[in-house]
Structure 1
C-alpha cells in the first residue's frame, strides 16, 4: 500500500494532485482541487498493476465529511472543528446496566464514550457539552443511573490531580500479578478485595452469556469424524507415545490401530 501511495502521488496529474493525503488502514482523507475528484479516482484505479485494489470516493456534504470516528466540519471563517461521527444506522445500544457484568465494565462504557472519546475528538467546549448530553441520554435509556456518571467523573478528576514522583518505584505497592476470575455477583467483589490486600490485580470475565447459550455458529464435529489431523496415542505399559498423521477420518485410523493390536 505504501508503494501504491508513492506511485499515486508522484504520477498524478498536476490539476488533481492531492494537497493532503492521510491514510489509516484503508480509509484515506485527502484535500484536492475542487472538481477533480472523479479524475483522481480514475487515476488511482489505474496505478495498481494487479488491478486488485479499487478506490471509491465520498465528497463533503454541507461542509462536512466523516473520517473514521470523527466528523470534520468546515466553519464559515475557513477553520475546521471536529465532532464525534455516528452512522445513520447507529442505534445507541450499549451494555445494559442491569446485565450480569462487573461494575467496572459498565463504568468503562461511560469513561470511554463520555470522557475519553469526547475529550479527545471534540474540539470546542460547546460541542463537548452537546456530546455529553447525547451520551448521557443514550446511556440512561440503557439503565445507567446518575451516580454512575458522577462516580466516573470523580475518578477521572482524582486521577488527574495525583502526581507521581519520577523514576521512583514503591516495591510494596507494585502489583504482584494479575488473575482473571469469573463474574459472580456478590462473590467476585469479595474475592477482588482479598486479592487487593496482597497487591494482586484482578479482572472479571462474564462466564455465562446469552451468546454462549443461544448462538452456535458451527456444530461441533465428533472426534472420530475429524479429518486431516495429527493424533497421539499413549502406551498403557510405558511412557512411550505414538504420534501419527492421517488425512482420513480419525475414527477409521483408530480402528486400524485397534485391529493391529
Structure 2
C-alpha cells in the first residue's frame, strides 16, 4: 500500500485583475507518494510557481484541497505548513542568514519547525556533526563552517540551503529552480547532491526546472504544466523513453 505524501484535489486559483477574474490554476489534481521525485516543467506563466506558492500557503486557493502527509493544509498558515515543507529557492541568498556562519545556519536549521527559546546553541558540541553533513557537498563547504554565509560562493550557499532544508527530513521538499542561478558545472554538482540526499533519505520531492536535461535525468516523475493545467504526467518506462524533442513540443 502506497503512502500518499502530497495530494492536490481540484485545486484552482483565481485572482481579480482590474474588472476581470483571471484563472491561474484550474482543477489541478496531483498525487505524490512517499519517495516520489517529480520534476516540473512548463513555459513562463504556465502556473508552476503558482502551484508551488499554493502548496506552501503563500497564495490562497479558490477551490479544492491540499493534503501533505495526510494532513489537510490548505486552511493552514504558511508558518504551520513550514513544519511539513522545506523549500529551496532560485536565489542562493534566500535560504540562509548572511551574517551568521555556516555552522550557525545549520544549528538554526536543526530546529526548523520548533518554537525557539532562549537556550544555548552549543555549537562546539555540534561541529563534528556539521562537518560530516557539509562534507556531502563537493565544494569545500566542510572547511567553511566558521565563515559567514555572505562570504560563500553561490554554489556553496545553495548547497548549504539544500542541506539546511533536508536536515530534518521534511514531509515534502520543494525545489524552485534551485540551480538556475548557477553556472553549468556548479549546477550539475548541486543536482548530484540533490539526487543523493533525496534518494538516501527517501524524501518526497517536487522540483521546478527549466533545464530539460535535468527534467529527463532526475526523478521518477515528470510533470508538464501549461495554462494552469497539468497536461502530462510521465513516470516509469514512459519517462525513461522521453527525449528533449518530446519535451520541447510543449514549448512550441
Same topology, TM > 0.5: no
The alignment's TM-score, normalised by the length of structure 1, stands at 0.25
User: More strand by proportion, 1 or 2?
Assistant: 2
Higher relative contact order (CA 8 A, sep 6+): 2
The alignment's TM-score, normalised by the length of structure 2, stands at 0.26
